[in-house]
Amino acid sequence: MAKNVLHIISSPRGAASITRKLGDAIVAKIKEKYPDSVVKERDLATEVFPHLDELQIGAWFAPADARTPEQARVIKISDEAIREMQEADIYVIGAPFYNFGIPSTLKAYLDHVTRPGITFRYNEQGQPEGFLKNKTAYIAAASSGVYSAGPAQHFDHVSPYLTFILGFLGITDVSYIRAEGLRLPGVRETAFEKGILSISIA
Ligand X SMILES: Cc1cc2nc3c(=O)[nH]c(=O)nc-3n(C[C@H](O)[C@H](O)[C@H](O)COP(=O)(O)O)c2cc1C
Cα gap 48→37, rounded to integer Å: 26
Q: What residue is closest to ligand X based on CB?
A: 96
Query: Can you say whether residue 50 is alpha, beta or left, with left for phi > 0 and alpha for psi between -120 and 50 degrees?
Result: beta
Contact 144, 97 (CB under 8 A): yes
Q: Does 97 bind ligand X (CB under 6 A)?
A: yes
Least distance in angstroms from the C-beta of 115 to ligand X = 27
Least distance in angstroms from the C-beta of 95 to ligand X = 8
Contact 91, 106 (CB under 8 A): no
Site string for ligand X, 119-158 (x = CB under 6 A): -----------------------xxxx-------------
Contact region with ligand X (CB under 6 A), list: 9-17, 25-33, 41-49, 119-127: 9-17
Q: Does 192 bind ligand X (CB under 6 A)?
A: no
Q: Does 105 bind ligand X (CB under 6 A)?
A: no
Cα gap 170→14, rounded to integer Å: 30
Q: Which is nearer to ligand X, 67 or 188 (CB)?
A: 188
Cα gap 132→172, rounded to integer Å: 9
Among 6, 90, 174, 182, binds ligand X (CB under 6 A): 182
Bridge partners of residue 42, in order along the sequence: 8
Least distance in angstroms from the C-beta of 10 to ligand X = 8
Half-sphere exposure of 5 (CA within 13 A, CB side): 27
Q: Which residues bind ligand X (CB under 6 A)?
A: 11, 13, 17-20, 96-100, 142-145, 182
